[in-house]
Amino acid sequence: MPASLQLYVKIWCPWCVMAQEWLDARGYKYELLDVERDRSLYQKMFELSNQRLTPTLVADGNKILPDFGPEELASFLKKHSITP
C-alpha cells in the first residue's frame, strides 16, 4: 500500500515547485497543502515539524521531512521505502 503523502507548500516558493515537479515526474501521489491559503495548515505544519519553512513533506502522518531540496527528498523516500 502506498504511503499517504502530504506536501505543505507556499505556491510561489521555488523549492516547493521543485518538490512538486520531482514527485510528479516520478509518479508520486500526494495531497498539496497551501499554507498561505489556509492558516490552520500553516499551524499544523509547524506542530508536525517544529519549523516554519516549506516545503515540508509528511508521510503516513509521522515521517516528516522539513525544508528540503530534491537530494534530501530522494534520500527520505528511499530511507522509508516510499514508492509511487
Residue 35 lies inside a defined structural domain of this protein: yes
Q: Is residue 2 over pLDDT 80?
A: no
Q: What is the pLDDT of residues 7-28, one digit of tens each?
A: 999 999 999 999 999 999 999 9
Q: What is the mean pLDDT of the chain?
A: 95
* pLDDT for residue 1: 59
Q: How wide is the angle at C-alpha 40 spanned by C-alphas 36 and 42, nearest 5°?
A: 50
* pLDDT for residue 80: 96
Give the range of the structural domain holding residue 57, as residue numbers without chain letter: 5-79
> Strands 31-34, 56-59: parallel, antiparallel or unpaired by DSSP?
unpaired
Q: How far apart are CA 1 and CA 19, in angstroms?
A: 22
Q: What is the pLDDT of residues 37-69, one digit of tens each?
A: 999 999 999 999 999 999 999 999 999 999 999
Q: What CATH number did the domain enclosing 18 receive?
A: 3.40.30.10
Residue 55 lies inside a defined structural domain of this protein: yes
Residue 84 lies inside a defined structural domain of this protein: no
When divided into structural domains, the chain yields a total of 1
The grid coordinates listed for 82 are 516510499
